[in-house]
């Protein structure tokens, strides 16, 4: 290592440590320029955009000079982040300028990737689809912008009559969706980030916001520096940076969260300490059907609920969860206090869970039973890991079973409505749900002759070759299946492009127009600011261009009822603009056309959106956004609460107006504890948990191209407990092989590192494409959400080499 | 070789642990950083992984130290990523 680099690393290390000391754990950088005080120079222009990473939805000011992003500043006008950015956000501009951007379409010919023209690329894709439309699948993303996802959704379901479209968000927040649906009859959190400013107690359930949503977490910890009291209770399977800021740390066994929530509800009932008034007015009790459980469940009486939950005594919960009984009592006592405000936060830890729907429902139930709901600071809130997991996946509905605006393909009236909005022929939309992610890839990697009925797959804006669980089965097995054809649109070479037959270079972030929807129902908009490199093009354009090629080939689905192209855009004179030609794509704002069409879908589930131009003016607006008498548009912070939600009946304190029981009530669920699908045993004695780190965003495709972030966290590692390491004669930094029943992965060991797992547990971040930990993980999934469990499977650690120590 | 940004947490305010801080100062590979409340930032720049582990163990075993956390580590200097060459 040269001296300059060593000095840089020492400086960075001191800065990171210093920020933890001074800022109560958070390496958050304060942008020092106000929006109206940003420096200007000849040719330097600033414009707003939401950050490209995570679901927080921080706004940044992007400085552009000579056609290049040269600066990024936290946006002080943004309510979400108030000028703050985390280390990833601070470097978000750098993600455009990695040296190995993909710039030309590449087709694999005789095993070798060969540059081809865009015309050939589009024609190749259209021909594959035309020849076999039913065996085509579209795999998308929570990183799709709203218009991108909407275009893909319309292309598949309205155009091809094919429901095989699913997103990577199936892997990160599907259980949150089903948890909300089961509880409230409609998706997405009722509260908002203001809850973090007003809660007295914050409970993080298997959640590490100090690293994964650092700007949000700073809203809580910064309150302490102002002298406010806020108690943080961290419930988790390993100590993290969030634990460092917590007043209480409750270390649970994997799946222990289910038992803990049942234990809290047991005590609230047993001690007659629940909010009887709230429950009587606003809640029903619900349980699984005995034979075939459904997401709706069946009604049960309060007495039946009492009987079922009776066995979850603190002592029994201690056995199941490993959390001491007195800590369960402490939690129940807190929820029993109605004069305090309690906010729960969760993300992947609860969602990537074979009881994902159940645990989501149970935590909602804890809040409902105790009445800690619907007041600022009282909220059960799931966070999202991708910038538009909510806006694109959940709201536009880019899931195998869904249609835009909360509709589903299985309901005839929903299909009819959608066909009406799209002006496509009656019966265009298939009533059969498509394949969810795991099934989609199973069918793609299974030989066609053996029933693998997905033969062509188009992957946009995501990297399943690194993120799918059990990669050897679900992705790597595609190799050698000559009749399968993988199309990948991306900005950099990835583990997915490595197996692609056709690679399309994509524009990213401010190289195109876009809209995202964040975790607090906030829809945000930005404009294109710079050109993409080489021949990289917008993903939305790719979808429209393929659709138009099919239209030219005579595919009936690409014509609407009037015989026009389903993505036709006309100018003020009524002339069609050929947006399928890339050099004409920006003759108009395609995003605006698609968004205004999509807006029609948003009222059925009261997710009303404002016109596009309102989002141009704002740093996002939280839906439902409703027009006022004076013509202005008002956002909603607290849904279902009469004081703020315009759709709650006048005079009602609360109303769950999409109740699955059609009586305006939310459902308090009982679910029986079930053990994890795979448990450590003699052969594989350790729990393996995977996750993320502060510096890298998901698969690291973008952040590993930013030298500052890559240097700060250059490689994946395995966190081990000191005693486990000593017992295996493993020392700090030595390389070990992680083995599971599905695969292996070699990693350096980090003992007492940033995260500190308990004995018998190891943790590996998944950002590093050179160390694919998902070769080891399990594809078992939640029966309702179909979301796999990345947080717990059985593994063993085998010492590979001994570090050579200089004498 | 390893460079780590660490946070030492003492059982009480940093000012009450002068002798322990002197012991830390006497370790040549350590630079002291910011202190606040019961926490002290340090950077360890050692020549070998063995020495890094020795320092880690020594600091953690000092009187009054109740926790040693890592804020940042750069222990894999040979793996600085070049852009992927997958294709």
Cα(A390)–Cα(A379) distance, integer angstroms: 18
> Starting from the edge strand earliest in sequence, which strands make up the sheet with A68-74, in order?
A45-50, A59-65, A68-74
The reply to whether B71 touches chain A by the CB within 8 Å rule is yes
- Chain B contact probe: residue of A7, A17, A246 with most B CBs at under 10 A: A17
Instruction: Confirm if A396 and A404 have CB atoms less than 8 A apart.
Output: yes
Q: Which of A127-131, A653-657, B82-86 has the lowest mean pLDDT?
A: B82-86
The reply to whether B57 touches chain A by the CB within 8 Å rule is no
- DSSP, collapsed to helix, strand or coil, labels residue A703 as helix
Whole-number pLDDT of residue A32: 35
Q: Is the pLDDT of residue A1 over 80?
A: no
Supply the DSSP string of A471-488, one letter for each residue.
Answer: HHHHTGGGTT-TT-EEEE
Q: Give the residue-averaged pLDDT of A625-631.
A: 97
CA-CA-CA-CA torsion sign (A725, A730, A733, A736): negative
Whole-number pLDDT of residue B51: 85
Query: Do residue B71 and residue A27 have CB atoms under 8 angstroms apart?
Result: yes
Cα(A637)–Cα(A292) distance, integer angstroms: 37
Q: Is the pLDDT of residue A157 over 90?
A: yes
Q: Give the residue-averaged pLDDT of A540-553.
A: 98
Question: What distance in Å separates residue A597's CA from the closest CA in chain B?
Answer: 39
Cα(A794)–Cα(B7) distance, integer angstroms: 32
Among A26, A81, A520, A15, which Cα is nearest to A224's? Answer: A26
The model's confidence at residue A23, banded by pLDDT at 50, 70 and 90, is: very low
Is A348 in the active site? yes
Whole-number pLDDT of residue A24: 40
Is A88 in the active site? yes
Question: What distance in Å separates residue A20's CA from the closest CA in chain B?
Answer: 7
**Pick the catalytic residue: A51, A156, A348, A515?**
A348
Q: Give the residue-averaged pLDDT of A194-200.
A: 98
Contacts of A362 (CB under 8 A, 6+ apart): A258, A261, A262, A265, A669, A671
Tokens standing for A626? 């409703």
Q: Is A294 exposed, middle or buried (0-12, 13-18, 19+ CB in 10 A)?
A: exposed
Question: What distance in Å separates residue A213's CA from the closest CA in chain B?
Answer: 16
User: Which residues on chain B are in Cβ contact (under 8 Å) with A221?
Assistant: none
- Chain B contact probe: residue of A13, A242, A709 with most B CBs at under 10 A: A13
Query: Do residue A714 and residue B74 have CB atoms under 8 angstroms apart?
Result: yes
Is A173 in the active site? yes
Is A127 in the active site? no
Instruction: Confirm if A59 and A619 have CB atoms less than 8 A apart.
Output: yes
ipTM score:
0.88
For residue range B34-43, list pLDDT tens digits in order: 888 788 989 9
Q: Is the pLDDT of residue B83 over 70?
A: no
Contacts of B27 (CB under 8 A, 6+ apart): B55, B58, B59
Instruction: Provide the Cα torsion A564, A567, A571, A573; round to 10°.
Output: 10
Q: How many helices (H) and strands (E) does chain B have?
A: 2, 4
For residue range A710-743, list pLDDT tens digits in order: 877 888 999 999 999 999 999 988 999 999 999 9
Crossing angle of helices A302-309 and A256-270, in 10° steps, is: 120
Among A549, A637, A660, A706, which Cα is nearest to A187's? Answer: A660
CA A117 from chain centre, in angstroms, equals 34
Q: Is the pLDDT of residue B80 over 80?
A: no
Tokens standing for A513? 């127009």
Among A706, A713, A707, which Cα is nearest to A766's? Answer: A713
Cα(A490)–Cα(A630) distance, integer angstroms: 45
Q: Give the residue-averaged pLDDT of A485-494.
A: 98
The structure's pTM equals 0.89
Q: Specify the DSSP class assigned to residue A771.
A: S
Q: Give the residue-averaged pLDDT of A119-145.
A: 98
- DSSP, collapsed to helix, strand or coil, labels residue B83 as coil
Radius of gyration of chain A (CA): 26
Cα(A344)–Cα(A235) distance, integer angstroms: 11
Instruction: Confirm if A200 and A419 have CB atoms less than 8 A apart.
Output: no
Cα(A92)–Cα(A511) distance, integer angstroms: 13
End-to-end CA separation in angstroms for chain A:
19
Supply the DSSP string of A653-695, one letter for each residue.
Answer: SB--TT-TTSSS-EEEEE------SS---SSS-EEEEEE--SS
Q: What are phi and psi of A18, to 5 degrees?
A: -60, -40
**A493: nearest CB among B72, B79, B84:** B84
Instruction: Provide the Cα torsion A415, A421, A423, A427; round to 10°.
Output: 0
The reply to whether B5 touches chain A by the CB within 8 Å rule is yes
Question: What distance in Å separates residue B61's CA from the closest CA in chain A?
Answer: 14
Q: How many helices (H) and strands (E) does chain A have?
A: 26, 33
For residue range A653-692, list pLDDT tens digits in order: 999 999 999 999 999 999 999 999 999 999 999 999 999 9
For residue range A429-439, list pLDDT tens digits in order: 999 999 999 99
The model's confidence at residue A804, banded by pLDDT at 50, 70 and 90, is: very low
Distances (CA, A) of A716 to A6, A11, A284, A793, B45: 20, 22, 46, 19, 21
Among A344, A182, A326, which Cα is nearest to A257's? Answer: A344
Whole-number pLDDT of residue A16: 66
Q: Is the pLDDT of residue A310 over 90?
A: yes
Cis preceding-peptide flag for A624 (omega within 30 of 0): yes
The model's confidence at residue A299, banded by pLDDT at 50, 70 and 90, is: very high
Whole-number pLDDT of residue A31: 37
Q: Give the residue-averaged pLDDT of A330-340.
A: 98
The model's confidence at residue A29, banded by pLDDT at 50, 70 and 90, is: very low
The reply to whether A722 touches chain B by the CB within 8 Å rule is no
**Pick the catalytic residue: A48, A88, A253, A528?**
A88
Tokens standing for A786? 């179909």
Residue carrying structure tokens 């793609």: A444
> Taking all residues of chain A, what is their mean pLDDT, rounded to a whole number?
93
Instruction: Confirm if A700 and A716 have CB atoms less than 8 A apart.
Output: no
**B74: nearest CB among A14, A494, A711:** A711
Whole-number pLDDT of residue A26: 37
Contacts of A291 (CB under 8 A, 6+ apart): none
For residue range A444-456, list pLDDT tens digits in order: 999 999 999 999 9
Q: Give the residue-averaged pLDDT of A218-237.
A: 88
**Pick the catalytic residue: A51, A86, A173, A192?**
A173
């Amino acid at each position: 290592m040269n001296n300059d680099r060593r000095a840089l690393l020492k400086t960075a290390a001191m800065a990171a440590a210093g920020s933890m000391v001074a800022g109560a754990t958070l390496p958050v950088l304060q942008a020092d320029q106000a929006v109206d005080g940003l420096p200007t120079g000849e040719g330097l222009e600033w414009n707003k955009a939401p950050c490209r990473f995570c679901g927080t939805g921080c706004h940044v000011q992007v400085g552009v000079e000579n056609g290049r992003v040269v600066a990024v500043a936290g946006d002080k006008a943004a309510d979400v982040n108030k000028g703050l950015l985390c280390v990833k956000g601070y470097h978000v501009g750098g993600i455009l300028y990695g040296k190995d951007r993909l710039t030309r379409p590449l087709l694999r010919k005789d095993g070798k990737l060969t540059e081809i023209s865009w015309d050939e690329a589009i024609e190749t894709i259209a021909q594959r689809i035309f020849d076999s439309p039913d065996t085509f699948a579209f795999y998308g993303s929570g990183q799709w912008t709203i218009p991108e996802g909407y275009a893909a959704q319309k292309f598949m379901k309205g155009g091809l009559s094919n429901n095989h479209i699913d997103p990577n968000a199936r892997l990160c927040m599907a259980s949150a969706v089903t948890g909300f649906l089961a509880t409230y009859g409609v998706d997405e959190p009722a509260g908002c980030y203001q809850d973090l400013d007003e809660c007295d107690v914050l409970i993080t359930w298997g959640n590490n916001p100090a690293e994964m949503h650092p700007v949000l977490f700073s809203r809580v910890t910064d309150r302490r520096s102002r002298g406010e009291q806020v108690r943080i209770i961290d419930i988790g399977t390993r100590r993290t940076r969030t634990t460092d800021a917590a007043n209480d740390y409750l270390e649970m066994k994997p799946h222990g969260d289910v038992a803990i929530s049942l234990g809290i509800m047991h005590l609230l009932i047993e001690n007659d300490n629940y909010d009887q008034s709230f429950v009587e007015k606003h809640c029903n009790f619900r349980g699984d059907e005995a034979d075939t459980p459904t997401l709706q469940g069946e009604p049960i009486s309060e007495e039946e609920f009492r009987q079922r939950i009776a066995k979850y005594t603190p002592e029994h919960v201690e056995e199941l969860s490993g959390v001491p009984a007195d800590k369960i009592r402490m939690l129940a006592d807190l929820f029993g206090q109605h004069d305090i405000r309690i906010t729960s936060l969760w993300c992947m830890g609860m969602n990537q869970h074979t009881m994902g729907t159940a645990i989501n429902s149970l935590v909602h139930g804890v809040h409902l039973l105790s009445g800690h709901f619907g007041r600022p600071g009282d909220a059960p809130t799931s966070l999202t890991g991708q910038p538009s997991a909510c806006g694109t996946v959940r709201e536009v509905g880019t899931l195998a079973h869904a249609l835009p605006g909360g509709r589903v393909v299985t309901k005839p009236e929903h299909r009819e409505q959608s066909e009406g909005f799209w002006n496509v022929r009656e019966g265009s939309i298939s009533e059969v749900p498509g394949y969810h992610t795991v099934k989609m890839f199973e069918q793609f990697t299974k030989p066609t002759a053996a029933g693998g009925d997905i033969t062509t797959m188009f992957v946009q804006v995501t990297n399943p070759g690194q993120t799918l669980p059990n990669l050897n089965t679900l992705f790597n097995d595609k190799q050698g299946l000559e009749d399968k054809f993988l199309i990948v649109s991306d900005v950099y070479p990835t583990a997915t492009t490595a197996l692609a037959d056709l690679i399309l270079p994509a524009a990213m972030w401010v190289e195109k127009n876009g809209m995202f929807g964040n975790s607090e129902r906030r829809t945000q908009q930005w404009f294109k600011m710079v050109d993409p490199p080489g021949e990289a093009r917008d993903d939305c354009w790719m979808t429209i261009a393929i659709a138009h090629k099919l239209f030219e080939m005579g595919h009936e689905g690409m014509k609407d009822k009037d015989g026009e192209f389903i993505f036709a855009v006309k100018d003020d004179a009524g002339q069609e603009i050929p947006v399928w030609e890339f050099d004409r794509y920006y003759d108009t704002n395609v995003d605006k056309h698609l968004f205004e069409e999509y807006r029609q879908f948003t009222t059925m589930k009261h997710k009303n959106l404002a016109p596009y131009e309102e989002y141009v003016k704002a740093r996002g607006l939280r839906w439902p956004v409703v027009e006022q008498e004076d013509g202005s548009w008002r956002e909603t912070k607290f849904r279902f609460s009469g004081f703020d939600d315009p759709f709650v009946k006048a005079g009602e304190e609360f109303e769950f107006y999409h109740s699955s029981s059609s009586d305006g009530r939310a459902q308090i669920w009982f679910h029986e504890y079930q053990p994890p699908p795979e448990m450590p045993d003699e052969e594989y004695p350790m729990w393996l948990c995977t996750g993320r780190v502060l510096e890298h965003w998901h698969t690291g495709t973008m952040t590993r191209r930013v030298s500052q972030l890559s240097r700060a966290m250059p490689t994946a590692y395995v966190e081990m407990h000191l005693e486990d390491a000593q017992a295996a004669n493993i020392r700090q930094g030595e390389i070990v092989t992680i083995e599971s029943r599905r695969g292996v992965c070699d990693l350096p060991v980090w003992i007492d590192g940033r995260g500190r797992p308990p004995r018998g547990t190891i943790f590996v971040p998944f950002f590093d494409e050179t160390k694919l930990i998902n070769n080891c993980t399990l594809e078992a999934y939640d029966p309702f959400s179909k979301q796999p469990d990345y947080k717990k499977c059985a593994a063993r650690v085998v010492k590979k080499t001994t570090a050579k120590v200089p004498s | 070789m390893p460079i780590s940004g660490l946070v030492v947490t003492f059982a009480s305010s940093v000012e009450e642990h002068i002798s322990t801080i002197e012991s830390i100062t006497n370790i040549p590979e350590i630079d002291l950083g910011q202190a606040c409340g019961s926490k002290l930032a340090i950077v360890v720049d050692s020549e070998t992984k063995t020495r890094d582990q020795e320092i880690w163990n020594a600091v953690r075993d000092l009187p009054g130290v109740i926790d040693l956390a890592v804020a940042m580590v750069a222990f894999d200097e040979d793996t600085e990523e070049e852009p992927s060459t997958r294709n």
